[in-house]
């Protein structure tokens, strides 16, 4: 797609059904059910990156993620890469906790924790939910997940949006934090 230009809140750039805006992904706009997707780790850790903004706005996504982790235990939860947990936070907003990161930080061999196949699987679950509930008029909202602490590349995430959402007619809005740096 190339480099994203700086945009005001009123301006947007769109590719297919993926819309890029400058703003806060925890305040999605639009009609219908808005699902805010983000990347979680499989280590039961919550407390850095975009999850700080989620926790600042709602307590439930963190509480449900930690309960999910505790219910499975460390060994079983590590095997949940690609799993997705939908957490209702308002009548028309759900949070999608996608387990798309193996651990936290780079591995001993320097590999970042992002797992693209796990992100893809999580997106598939969201797309299936949208197809199963057409009456909810589902749209997906997210920051550039997996591209900060998880060490991923947007050029590998963006095609997954096309594969799971655009081809199924599910609108997607990607939020870039004003000024370029995330600051909850």
pLDDT band of residue 149 (cuts 50, 70, 90) is confident
Provide the pLDDT for residue 179. Answer: 72
Assess if residue 25 is contained within a domain.
Answer: no
Q: Does a structural domain hold residue 3? A: no
Position 45 in a domain:
yes
pLDDT tens digits, 56-113: 999 999 999 999 999 998 899 999 999 999 999 999 999 999 999 999 988 888 899 9
| Residue 145 within a domain | yes
Helix H segments across the chain? 50-57, 60-78, 116-132, 154-164
Task: Judge whether 24 lies within some domain.
Answer: no
Is residue 15 a part of any domain in this protein? no
| pLDDT band, very low/low/confident/very high, at 178 (cuts 50, 70, 90) | confident
- Within a 10 A sphere around the Cβ of 14, how many other Cβ atoms? 12
Residue 22 placed within a domain:
no
**Alpha carbon distance 37, 86 (integer Å):** 9
């Amino acid at each position: 797609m190339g480099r994203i230009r700086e945009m005001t809140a009123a301006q947007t750039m769109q590719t297919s059904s993926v819309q890029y805006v400058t703003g806060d992904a925890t305040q999605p706009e639009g009609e219908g059910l808005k699902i805010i997707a983000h990347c979680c780790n499989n280590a039961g850790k919550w407390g850095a990156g975009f999850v700080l903004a989620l926790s600042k706005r709602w307590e439930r996504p963190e509480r449900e993620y930690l309960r999910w982790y505790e219910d499975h235990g460390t060994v079983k939860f590590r095997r949940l890469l690609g799993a997705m947990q939908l957490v209702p936070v308002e009548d028309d907003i759900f949070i999608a906790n996608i387990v798309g990161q193996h651990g936290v930080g780079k591995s001993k061999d320097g590999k970042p924790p992002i797992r693209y196949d796990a992100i893809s699987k999580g997106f598939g679950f969201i797309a299936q939910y949208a197809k199963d509930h057409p009456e909810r008029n589902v749209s997906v909202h997210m920051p550039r997940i997996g591209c900060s602490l998880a060490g991923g590349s947007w050029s590998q995430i963006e095609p997954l949006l096309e594969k799971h959402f655009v081809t199924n007619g599910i609108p997607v809005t990607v939020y870039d934090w004003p000024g370029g740096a995330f600051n909850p």
